[in-house]
Amino acid sequence: SLQEKGKSSAEENPNDSAVPSSSGIDSTKSQDKDVNEGETSDGVSKSVHKVFASMLGENEDEEEEEEEEEEEEEETPEQPTAGDVFVLEMVLNRETKKMMKEKRPRSKLPRALRGLMGEANIRFARGEREEAILMCMEIIRQECLKALGYMERAAESYGKVVDLAPLHLDARISLSTLQQQLGRPEKALEALEPMYDPDTLAQDANAAQQELKLLLQRSTLLFSQGKMYGYVDTLLTMLAMLLRVAMNRAQVCLISSSKSGERHLYLIKVSRDKISDNNDQESANCDAKAIFAVLTSVLTKDDWWNLLLKAIYSLCDLSRFQEAELLVDSSLEYYSFYEDRPKRKELEYFGLSAAILDKNFRKAYNYIRIMVMENVNKPQLWNIFNQVTMHSQDVRHHRFCLRLMLKNPDNHALCVLNGHNAFVSGQYVQAFRTHPHEPLYSLCIGLTFIHMASQKYVLRRHALIVQGFSFLNRYLSLRGPCQESFYNLGRGLHQLGLIHLAIHYYQKALELPPFVVEGMEVDQLDLRRDIAYNLSLIYQNSGNIGMAQKLLYTYCSI
């Protein structure tokens, strides 16, 4: 029968079971399946390879060749007329205008993915096809893992992408964020290591822009972890990018040193011969203008100012006062800060404070000298001026005060300072006439007369002593009975050799508590140690060693 013949034929030809039907659908499906199930040499499925190749434009050349062959096969039956050409040009212009008006649809990919896809396209164009495909696969994989909550595996995938594209900023920031979320602060910092060397940053504006964004992220991370030395390193690196030319003018250099046990960045003063010559300086200025335009596009002028203040505060917190001075000097050479008068004044106050804390009183005098000339009637500045001149061991301020006194004869602070400098009672008297109820002026005049009476050769010694103590008694009545006033009277009597009277006032001063001033520690105003020491000298000279030792053990022992 027919069924038996069919069975026998099927048994004789087993391959005939796969014979396609007349439609040919089964054969095409099976062929496509066999092609797609193959694998490349690196173990990637051919279908996946084909998809990524189409994403990266790998098959464009083959399609173009097919189109060229089709165009060659087509034959134009006849040449177009002039009217046909005109009509075609009109249609073409209309379509072109329509396409120009239409907006290109924005990519829905995240910014980091768009950048990495661009990096993959560049690698593909260079001929690095395998690396480009691998990068695309890692990009898609990391986003999927992150969306599904597999942070550990997503971080590993991000790490592979960073290894493939080490200069890609968004990938580094994303990896650092993931590591921070996973509780790995050290790994997060490793992801934000600097990408470029200083020479590249000085010449390439695009590299400077990328590095600045990276350093901003790194500084925030370091500050949150409490690593102040590393935080200062990033701040100084960013400011050095902005103040490069200004630092050259101020003869300031940023170096790397391990003097604290770890390698960090420090500001130092260098000599003029170590600064680059004029030709190099001109080329550096040209590069700096381009880099400045890029840097100010990332951070505004106010943002840079806040960054500078953070650096100054952080250096002072770390007791690096000399570096704070150098940073202020460099900032004053930067025209954008110097031309802004309020910012310039604030920088000068920062420089003054840093110089005083660094005990650089000669430099502090240069700051305070200009300030008191502009604000003669500010007592706070005169107090600072007096503190600076007391510690500076310099006599330049004598002539300065005399010249300023000629321009401002009614300024009582200048009267007192000139009296201190020359120890002339006439200057004190001028201030005393202006402010007769000020205890300080009565004390200064009284001490001047006592010092004059203590000299070896002097006329009318008795009259000078009487005048001196009359002003000291006036000072006592204005100041009131307190530790300070009794000590000053006892000190004057002690200087003149009136020991029995000096002991009386010293003992009264010891019985009183120190004066309390808001904002100052009590120990700073406590005179009991000075009083006890002076009394011990008196008892020691008179032979009362036991009383002298008792005073020293009670008030002067630590």
Q: What angle do CA 206, 212, 218 make, to 5 degrees?
A: 140
Q: Helices 528-542 and 499-511: crossing angle, nearest 10°? A: 150
Give first-to-last CA distance, the chain, whole Å: 128
Mention every residue, 6+ apart, whose C-beta is less than 8 A from residue 63: none
Q: Helices 278-298 and 205-225: crossing angle, nearest 10°? A: 60
* Best CA proximity match to 513, nearest among 504, 522, 521: 522
* Best CA proximity match to 352, nearest among 365, 337, 334, 339: 365
Mean pLDDT to the nearest integer, 294-298 = 78
Asked which of 140, 164, 193 is the last residue of a domain, the reply is 193
Residue 431: pLDDT band with limits 50, 70, 90? confident
Asked which of 164, 193, 222 is the last residue of a domain, the reply is 193
Let me know whether 316 and 235 are in one domain. yes
Let me know whether 53 and 169 are in one domain. yes
CATH code of 179's domain:
1.25.40
Res 104 pLDDT > 90: no
Let me know whether 224 and 302 are in one domain. yes
Burial of 339 (0-12, 13-18, 19+ CB in 10 A): exposed
Let me know whether 251 and 121 are in one domain. no
What pLDDT sits at residue 344? 93
* Best CA proximity match to 240, nearest among 339, 330, 108, 348: 330
Q: What angle do CA 27, 31, 33 make, to 5 degrees?
A: 120
Let me know whether 207 and 252 are in one domain. yes
What pLDDT sits at residue 73? 52
Residue 494: pLDDT band with limits 50, 70, 90? very high
Identify which has the larger pLDDT, 13 or 509.
509
Q: How many residues does the chain have?
A: 558
- Asked if residue 296 belongs to a domain, the reply is yes
Contact by Cβ (8 Å): 47, 36: yes
What pLDDT sits at residue 35? 44
Residue 455: pLDDT band with limits 50, 70, 90? confident
Write the single-letter amino acid at 165. A
Overall number of domains in the chain? 2
Tell me the per-residue pLDDT of 401-425, one tens digit each, with 9 for 90 and over. Answer: 888 888 888 887 888 888 777 765 5
State both tokens at 515. Answer: 């004066």
Let me know whether 174 and 262 are in one domain. no
Let me know whether 216 and 316 are in one domain. yes
Let me know whether 139 and 238 are in one domain. no
pTM: 0.64
Mean pLDDT to the nearest integer, 491-504 = 92
- Asked if residue 250 belongs to a domain, the reply is yes
How far is CA 190 from its chain centroid?
20
- Asked if residue 236 belongs to a domain, the reply is yes
Asked which of 325, 341, 364 is the last residue of a domain, the reply is 325
The DSSP code for 14 is G
Residue 345: pLDDT band with limits 50, 70, 90? very high
- Asked if residue 262 belongs to a domain, the reply is yes
State both tokens at 300. Answer: 């505004």
Res 341 pLDDT > 50: yes
Which range marks the domain in which residue 295 is found? 195-325
Nearest-angstrom CA–CA distance, 533 and 537: 6
- Asked if residue 289 belongs to a domain, the reply is yes
Longest dimension (CA), the chain: 163
Of 113-122, 206-215, 249-258, 498-507, the poorest mean pLDDT is in 113-122
Percent residues over pLDDT 70 in the chain: 68
Q: What is the DSSP string of 212-236?
A: HHHHHHHHHHHHHHT-HHHHHHHHH
- Asked if residue 246 belongs to a domain, the reply is yes
Res 316 pLDDT > 70: yes
What is the dihedral sign for C-alpha 491, 492, 498, 504?
negative
What pLDDT sits at residue 141? 55
* Best CA proximity match to 535, nearest among 505, 511, 512: 505
- Asked if residue 171 belongs to a domain, the reply is yes
Tell me the per-residue pLDDT of 211-259, one tens digit each, with 9 for 90 and over. Answer: 888 888 888 888 988 889 999 999 999 999 888 888 989 999 999 888 8
Residue 396: pLDDT band with limits 50, 70, 90? confident
Let me know whether 146 and 241 are in one domain. no
Nearest-angstrom CA–CA distance, 74 and 286: 59
Let me know whether 46 and 123 are in one domain. yes
State both tokens at 3. Answer: 């069924």
* Range among 48-52, 95-99, 433-437, 478-482 with highest mean pLDDT value: 478-482
What pLDDT sits at residue 13? 47
Let me know whether 240 and 137 are in one domain. no
Contact by Cβ (8 Å): 394, 409: no
Mean pLDDT to the nearest integer, 529-552 = 92
Let me know whether 306 and 320 are in one domain. yes
Which H or E run contains 162?
helix 151-164
Res 486 pLDDT > 70: yes
Number of neighbours of residue 176 by Cβ within 10 angstroms: 26
- Asked if residue 365 belongs to a domain, the reply is no
Tell me the per-residue pLDDT of 122-144, one tens digit each, with 9 for 90 and over. Answer: 665 666 655 655 666 555 555 55
Residue 396: phi, psi to the nearest 5? -65, -30
